[in-house]
A and B are shown apart, each in its own frame.
Chain A
Amino acid sequence: MKQRQNTSEPILLSTVLLVCAANLVVLFYQSLENHFNAFFFFLVCAAVRLAPFFFPQFKLKRRYEISLFIIALIIILTSIIGKDILATLFTLLVCLQSLTILRLFSTRELKTCVWVLLFLVAANLLFFFEFQNVVILFMAVIVALSALINHFCNYNIYKEAVSRMINIALLALPVAVILFLVMPRLPPLWKMPKVESQSRGLQDKIRFGDIAELSQSSNLAFRASFDGQPPKTSQMYWRSFVLQNFDGNIWQRSEYMESWQKLVKTRRSGVQWKNLQAPAVNYQVITEASYQNWLFALDLATSRQQGVISLPDFSLYSSETLTQKFRYQVTSYPESQLTDFDNNQIKQLNLQLPNVANPKTEQWVKALKQQSTTDAELIQAVLNYFNQQDFYYSLKPEVLESPKIDDFLFNTRTGFCEHYAGTFTYIMRLAGIPARVVVGYLGGEYNPAGDYFSVYQFDAHAWAEIWQADKGWVRIDPTSYVAPERVEFNLQQAIGNDEFLAERDFSLFKYDQFAAIRTMRMLISNLDYQWTLWVLNYDATKQKDLLKKLFGETSGLAFTLKLAFLILGLFSFIFVVGWLLAHKKSPQSQLQRLQQKATQKLAKKYQIQRRQGQTLRQLKRQTQQHSEALAQNWQTFCQHFEQLEYAPLSQAQFKIHYRACQQLIKQL
């Protein structure tokens, strides 16, 4: 294929398609974080650019083009209002990218488009770090770069360009991984505006029905892997945060505790627990990005990790918002008593009652209190009431009428864990026992392949804690009296498969009864876990560990030498593989080499030069001038070589002749 042109070449359809495909993916991801205006704008621009290929008479009028520019301007301006600077920046980039695609007529724009795309991918990777998303985004990069290759190599068959680019990309991957592993990490160069997003998972303001709604989600909350024997899943009460204030409708954090939160954020140090009782359970937790600060741990949790702070209500708190997956090490002492250091104030806080009255409940509690002599008796009576009356555990509780507790206790009697925990706490407070609601997760799914527990959003749970003078805070889970299966097994067992994830028909969890699907789900989950463990949470400390493992020590001349050696080896690896890639081996090239060797030997040893266009056999006359033996040898070589080159041979025959040729070259 040969063409001559003076002007810069036009952009081929296949190139435009590749660019659009890559942008489609990247900009879609981008819009998930911001809003879809810019994405729709991109779709319009791409359609306008592609139209002339399919409708040759199509031409965009000047004023429409200008109006597209104006629309882009409007989208950017609206994004400035009420959004943070980062979102505006990205909207700007997306709009510019769309306009570049609209005017994608020369090499220059193509390049601009690809460079911007690379940057956008990097930005997207801040938000989307799950394994599958990363794979998709990296594929988008490959597609974008193959658009460049397609343009410069004029393949015009995008399959060819993409496959070539995939070759190159796979080649680059080991190099990138090694660089990633050994290159020293720099601390952040300057403070950047925080990545912001809607907080995910449990919110620290709980209405009746909130957790039930959250339980519709099968998203991962966190994973935990235990160093030794893990506790029973029915004992895995993952504490996230504690709610003290109740206004008759909403449970939320008390101001006192919120002031603590603020304090630890600035001081970066929390409460030190004393009187810890063995045994200790060591484990590490990797949370998903929740865009909150709450961490998850079993009671009584301590952590030595920097940035992980213990609050007085026994929960763990991160000093930074969790914008990425976060891994932390926890040591829990399950036998320890939960005793506060500031008893009186805590006591007062946890006796707070809402202004809204629940007259029926109040009466009922009063009656109960008169009947029972000790607190324990009272508590047992309440729990028995939950157990014996027809209370139901349901993901879809009815909406409660005000006064809500009355409505729940005596009317609807259908609720999720927050109903039971909230109501129980309220009753305790009415009875004068300090009590509070604890929110977190219960249980977890064990993944044997990766030896870790996955805790999903549908494992979200709420329970109650009451203060007892001799024991401190005691956990009471009223839900277990209504639906014991929830605690013993999991949510799916407790409410049945029909109600479980009712709105998500395509969730793999729904098909757990099929062993194959379950195994597959576990496999994917494990893959994602290892990905998180090794890629997302690879940091300077891990790097140091790895280098230590590889080289013994991480300083000194020997280490430097070894590192230099490694990097040198890396480059030679690229060189060799690149060379191989450029000179793809084939039986033809094998023969070529053979021929080259033979003629070079003749030239060097006997000064017999092969002219262009001469066949090997034609050199025989020149060999004859040297000696008859040489000519004889040369002739047999030619015979074998002709067989190799021209005759139809089987694999075995090929080998025989090839060997003979090599032998003869040596004898020349």
Chain B
Amino acid sequence: MLTQVSKWRQLRFKHWLNQRIPAANSLSLNKRNIFIFPSWAGLAYLAVSLAIFILATNYESNLSLLLCYWLLALFLILLYLSYFNLSGMALSASPLKPVHVGDRLQLEVSLQSNKKHFHLNWLDEVNTQIKQTSPGREIIKLSWNAKRRGNWVLPRVKLFSQAPSGLFNVWTYPDFNQQVLIYPKLIACPEYAFGTGKNTTKEGDLNQPLQGVDFQGLKNYQKGDSLSRVAWKRASFSQNWQIKHFEQTQDQQIWFSIYKVQADSIEEKLSKLAWLVTNAHHQEITYGLQLSHIELDPAQGESHLKMCLEQLAKHP
């Protein structure tokens, strides 16, 4: 029951906040979207002022009374100054770039204003702080950990400050209206680097793992190389093992298939596939990707890689 009430409250708050600060790529701070409240220190300050007032009244000391009123007047002025510290600033966020799981998502927010701002704090995952911004444009980078594969929606970001006196908390919750795909983590699997072939159940043609590659020569064996490619005949009379090195010819194309990659879980499979397509892209190999929900025909280039990774990220 209680949790329901609090949930309902949270929902109300969210609704109210959405009306107050609608999601937008950019936001200029004004009285509509800045919240201000005395901090604990501010309350303590008021308490001290009250104590001084009592002292002044009881001892009938005019000077202490003057001090008390002066402190209260300062409190009011500092209220304005705290508000003005944030107001007039324009925030705008540049689009998020997709990353892999485990990497850091970076949001670039550019701050523009014609005056100095002090002591800005951002409630991202590393609690970014700016001590002072000068008039003009400044860019800050907020970062989050990319934890889960798939679509990631940027939460409301909290920007708060206690400057100039620490008596007030001034804050705002901009929603930059951003979302981004988080690609699977890259797990190296060199054994499939030259293609896994397509799943045979769907189509008749079998393309062998090493089909469409030419023998180029021998290379020294390194850990991680596939044992199947060791030149055993040479190994018998030579000290060092060597492996047969194949070069992809330009017009050859290979397939990566989720059905052929061996791994413990589906996530690991996707991770391996992500590495495979990235690797193939760097080696300028033409490759296709077969997933359980979609099939991408062999191609090359940035946009193809992007499409492959996107599909891997969206994999159910």
**B78: chain A residues within 8 A (beta carbon):** 168
A660 within 8 A of B: no
- From B48, B59, B129, B166, give the contact of A151 (CB < 8 A): B166
* Interface stretch of the complex, out of A45-53, A179-187, A261-269, A375-383: A179-187
Q: Are B74 and A145 closer than 8 Å at their CB atoms? A: yes
Query: B51, B70, B73 — which one has the most chain A CB atoms within 10 A of its CB?
Result: B73
Interface size (A, Cβ < 8 Å)?
A: 67
In the complex, A153→B161 CA distance in Å?
A: 10
* Interface stretch of the complex, out of A77-85, A211-219, A571-579: A571-579
Residue of A nearest to B26 (CB): A612
A119 within 8 A of B: yes
Residue of B nearest to A577 (CB): B77
Q: Are B114 and A589 closer than 8 Å at their CB atoms? A: yes
B84 within 8 A of A: yes
In the complex, A579→B83 CA distance in Å?
A: 10
Looking at the assembled complex, report how far the CB atom of A18 sits from the nearest CB atom of chain B, in whole angstroms.
13
In the complex, A187→B119 CA distance in Å?
A: 43
**B129: chain A residues within 8 A (beta carbon):** 3-5, 9
Query: B54, B66, B114 — which one has the most chain A CB atoms within 10 A of its CB?
Result: B66
B76 within 8 A of A: yes
Q: How many A-B residue pairs have CB under 8 A?
A: 172
A134 within 8 A of B: yes
A566 within 8 A of B: no
A271 within 8 A of B: no
Report A102-144 CB contacts with B as 1/0, cut-off 8 Å.
0000010001000100110111011001000010001001000
**A6: chain B residues within 8 A (beta carbon):** 126-127
Residue of B nearest to A186 (CB): B57
Q: Are B63 and A134 closer than 8 Å at their CB atoms? A: yes
Q: Are A154 and B67 closer than 8 Å at their CB atoms? A: no
Query: A119, A122, A179, A189 — which one has the most chain B CB atoms within 10 A of its CB?
Result: A122
Q: A189-B54, A582-B81 known; A111 and B166 CB under 8 Å?
A: yes
Report B61-75 CB contacts with A as 1/0, cut-off 8 Å.
111111111111110
A632 within 8 A of B: no
**A537: chain B residues within 8 A (beta carbon):** 62
Q: Are A153 and B119 closer than 8 Å at their CB atoms? A: yes
- From A172, A190, A535, A582, give the contact of B62 (CB < 8 A): A535
Q: A115-B44, A122-B56, A180-B66 known; A153 and B132 CB under 8 Å?
A: yes
Report A1-32 CB contacts with B as 1/0, cut-off 8 Å.
11111100100000000000000000000000
- From A129, A171, A589, give the contact of B63 (CB < 8 A): A129
B212 within 8 A of A: no
Q: Are B165 and A152 closer than 8 Å at their CB atoms? A: yes
B152 within 8 A of A: no
Q: A4-B126, A152-B164 known; A581 and B81 CB under 8 Å?
A: yes
**A3: chain B residues within 8 A (beta carbon):** 129-131
Q: Are B63 and A535 closer than 8 Å at their CB atoms? A: yes
In the complex, A175→B49 CA distance in Å?
A: 15
In the complex, A123→B59 CA distance in Å?
A: 10
Looking at the assembled complex, report how far the CB atom of B148 sits from the nearest CB atom of chain A, in whole angstroms.
24
Residue of B nearest to A154 (CB): B131
**Chain B interface extent, by class:** 35 or more
Q: Are B73 and A176 closer than 8 Å at their CB atoms? A: yes
Q: A153-B118, A188-B57, A574-B80 known; A115 and B63 CB under 8 Å?
A: no
Q: Are B114 and A324 closer than 8 Å at their CB atoms? A: no
Q: A154-B118, A168-B74, A578-B81 known; A188 and B58 CB under 8 Å?
A: yes
In the complex, A207→B56 CA distance in Å?
A: 39
Q: Are B52 and A118 closer than 8 Å at their CB atoms? A: yes
B55 within 8 A of A: yes
Query: A121, A152, A574 — which one has the most chain B CB atoms within 10 A of its CB?
Result: A152
A232 within 8 A of B: no
**A111: chain B residues within 8 A (beta carbon):** 41, 44, 166
Looking at the assembled complex, report how far the CB atom of B86 sits from the nearest CB atom of chain A, in whole angstroms.
11
Chain B interface, >50% SS class: helix
- From B67, B80, B119, give the contact of A575 (CB < 8 A): B80
**B52: chain A residues within 8 A (beta carbon):** 118-119, 122
**A516: chain B residues within 8 A (beta carbon):** none
In the complex, A398→B106 CA distance in Å?
A: 90
Q: Are B114 and A189 closer than 8 Å at their CB atoms? A: no
Q: Are B131 and A176 closer than 8 Å at their CB atoms? A: no
Q: Are B45 and A115 closer than 8 Å at their CB atoms? A: yes
A148 within 8 A of B: yes
Q: A107-B166, A115-B45, A578-B77 known; A125 and B57 CB under 8 Å?
A: no
Report A579-613 CB contacts with B as 1/0, cut-off 8 Å.
10111100001001000000000000000000000
B163 within 8 A of A: yes
In the complex, A191→B74 CA distance in Å?
A: 30
**A538: chain B residues within 8 A (beta carbon):** 62
**A123: chain B residues within 8 A (beta carbon):** 55, 64
In the complex, A176→B57 CA distance in Å?
A: 16
A149 within 8 A of B: yes
Q: Are A176 and B80 closer than 8 Å at their CB atoms? A: no
Residue of A nearest to B70 (CB): A176
In the complex, A172→B65 CA distance in Å?
A: 14
**B166: chain A residues within 8 A (beta carbon):** 107, 111, 148, 151-152
Q: Are A2 and B114 closer than 8 Å at their CB atoms? A: no
Looking at the assembled complex, report how far the CB atom of A597 sits from the nearest CB atom of chain B, in whole angstroms.
16
Query: B65, B115, B129 — which one has the most chain A CB atoms within 10 A of its CB?
Result: B65
Residue of A nearest to B84 (CB): A582
B248 within 8 A of A: no
B271 within 8 A of A: no
Report B100-131 CB contacts with A as 1/0, cut-off 8 Å.
00000000000000110011000000111111
Q: Are A173 and B70 closer than 8 Å at their CB atoms? A: yes
Report B158-183 CB contacts with A as 1/0, cut-off 8 Å.
00001111100000000000000000
Instruction: Give 12 new A-B contacts, CB below 8 A, not counting A176-B69, A176-B73.
Output: A2-B133, A5-B129, A119-B55, A164-B164, A179-B72, A180-B65, A180-B69, A183-B69, A188-B57, A579-B84, A582-B87, A583-B88
Interface residues of A (CB under 8 A from B): 1-6, 9, 107, 111, 115, 118-119, 121-123, 125-126, 129, 134, 138, 141, 145, 148-149, 151-154, 164, 168-169, 171-173, 175-177, 179-180, 183, 185-192, 195, 323-324, 535-539, 571, 574-575, 578-579, 581-584, 589, 592
- Could you list 10 examples of A-B contacts with CB < 8 Å? A2-B130, A145-B165, A153-B163, A169-B70, A172-B77, A176-B70, A179-B73, A535-B66, A579-B80, A592-B114
6 shortest A-B CB distances, which residue pairs? A582-B84, A578-B80, A172-B73, A175-B73, A176-B70, A125-B63
